[in-house]
Structure 1
């Protein structure tokens, strides 16, 4: 009995990739071509990054069954600097869109910002005071497609206004996006600037004058839902990163989602209730990116990018997610 327990395979963490999910991203995770042969598998490195992102633990508190935290952090930093993280995220997003009978390249989207408190590890040179939200920390500027999938992310000091951050993040998205919906914080001179310099049509979705209290607004609820999914990863509840680039990398790894939310919303079916036990965006994207053996979607829908079905907003309780 003792030897059987000793050689028993360790139970995987909820954030670990499945075999099918790893097969999808393995070709995009580079193998070191120089130096001595690696001791740890690339899959275990990815699992460790997902664990940090989902649980919010510090690098030094990684469980002992993972590689050493210095090794995991080194790969996290190198992959982000060399563009591996971007290539994985972009490839999986394109595959999800293709399964949803959408053009892999998004042409319409939403822009919004989220202010979060900065931990003591965030330096004064990259943090600031957001007077509107009364938060001392950083601000995340996001552009998503009409499914709520992340297209561009920019992390700035909290003192940066939404319109100023929107100018910078939309400039990054101008190569793919041609129409964007936004809230009233992006109104004014930004509309003309984006049209002139980025060739993007910025459409402001305003609240009805007769509105009292909370109401789901067309288009805007999609990115609001994405922002609420972000904080399900405990690493993103606050901003703990010394470098804004590392915050952006964790956002790409860690946008919590519910199974089937994307495809059901895209087809006009009301979204499913969000499971608070859901893991990170990479696992969600990998789930949708896996080949479907019973999908019979017509090919005629490819190349068409339209707004979401505004008659199918999220049910009450699906916009925000309680952390577990």
Structure 2
């Protein structure tokens, strides 16, 4: 029985060679009972519908098999590598440089924990009055992420950004100096001076590769002049807000159900993999 979360033939044509390229080769004594496409259909079903692994439909592979593959691919970094390659392909599709960008937007989203989530991944965010985790995204002008990261909810936006960029510091180290600096657009919850000091401790030359910029926030007078009131989308910043809302299409991401922060990040990666594959196939 086909489900709305299942991969189409054109989407599988994109993913199949990438999985063959990324997955480590193994010596097999007999062919597997389930194909990689069927395994992915099971993973994407759980992602979209937010059910327990045990509640996967019976016409999909057994939940223990689906979860075993998901756990292996997460631990081996397959999901991160898959997201990186697909992101490069989707940028090439719209005539952008596959790896480098001139504008990157970073933001965080506080998400409530459920009873399933572990207490070790829980923190109270006073700014959002949310007891749970924070999801950190660094996206391009298409709204698709270069980096994803999850932290406790009580960690500040600055500390979360530093953790995310430190984890991906090789990206900035490998950036050629003859390419214009990457402008990192932030909202007013971040403090560029503090970020600069802390990031220089990790990579002293990083400010030759990037620069921080706070997004312009319209004042009350500017709103009155333009005849607007209440919430007004900020130029460029609305892109990352849209990326945060895209994750709500996956019911498993409406709240945090994961016991570890690594699991929470893996589910974010899967969400964007699914969105980008759909965009590529279209």
- 1:184 equivalent in structure 2: 188
Report the Cα offset of residue 35 of structure 1.
5.4
Q: For the residues of structure 1 that align with 2:164 and 2:190, how far apart are their CA atoms?
A: 12
- 2:64 equivalent in structure 1: 70
Give the TM-score of the pair, scaled to structure 2.
0.84
Deviates more, 1:202-211 or 1:139-148: 202-211
- Aligned pair 1:220/2:237, yes or no? yes
Unaligned runs of 5+ in 2: 176-181, 224-228
* Secondary structure of 1:184's aligned partner: coil
Q: For the residues of structure 1 that align with 2:89 and 2:39, how far apart are their CA atoms?
A: 23
The answer to which structure has the higher helix fraction is 2
- Aligned pair 1:87/2:81, yes or no? yes
Q: For the residues of structure 1 that align with 2:198 and 2:146, how far apart are their CA atoms?
A: 17
Deviates more, 1:59-68 or 1:211-220: 211-220
Q: 1:188 to 1:289 in 2, by over 3 A?
A: closer
Unaligned runs of 5+ in 1: 1-9, 256-280, 293-324
- 2:109 equivalent in structure 1: 114
Report the Cα offset of residue 80 of structure 1.
1.2
- 1:229 equivalent in structure 2: 246
Report the Cα offset of residue 288 of structure 1.
3.4
- Aligned pair 1:51/2:45, yes or no? yes
Q: For the residues of structure 2 that align with 1:25 and 1:219, how far apart are their CA atoms?
A: 30
Q: Greater relative contact order: 1 or 2 (C-alpha under 8 angstroms, separation 6 or more)?
A: 2
Report the Cα offset of residue 239 of structure 1.
0.5
Report the Cα offset of residue 74 of structure 1.
0.8
For the Cα contact (< 8 Å) 1:170–1:194, is it kept in 2? no
Q: For the residues of structure 2 that align with 1:83 and 1:57, how far apart are their CA atoms?
A: 24
Q: For the residues of structure 1 that align with 2:112 and 2:212, how far apart are their CA atoms?
A: 29
Q: 1:35 to 1:138 in 2, by over 3 A?
A: farther
Report the Cα offset of residue 36 of structure 1.
4.4
Q: 1:35 to 1:181 in 2, by over 3 A?
A: farther
For the Cα contact (< 8 Å) 2:53–2:63, is it kept in 1? yes
Q: For the residues of structure 2 that align with 1:243 and 1:207, how far apart are their CA atoms?
A: 35
Give the TM-score of the pair, scaled to structure 1.
0.74
- Aligned pair 1:158/2:149, yes or no? no
Report the Cα offset of residue 70 of structure 1.
1.1
Q: For the residues of structure 2 that align with 1:188 and 1:147, how far apart are their CA atoms?
A: 24
Q: For the residues of structure 1 that align with 2:100 and 2:242, how far apart are their CA atoms?
A: 18
* Secondary structure of 2:189's aligned partner: helix
Report the Cα offset of residue 166 of structure 1.
1.1
Q: For the residues of structure 1 that align with 2:254 and 2:38, how far apart are their CA atoms?
A: 25
Where has structure 1 moved over 6 Å in runs of 4 or more? none
- 1:18 equivalent in structure 2: 8
Report the Cα offset of residue 122 of structure 1.
1.3
- Aligned pair 1:204/2:214, yes or no? yes
Aligned counterpart for 2:266 among listed residues 228, 249, 268: 249
Report the Cα offset of residue 37 of structure 1.
3.0
Aligned counterpart for 1:240 among listed residues 254, 257, 261: 257
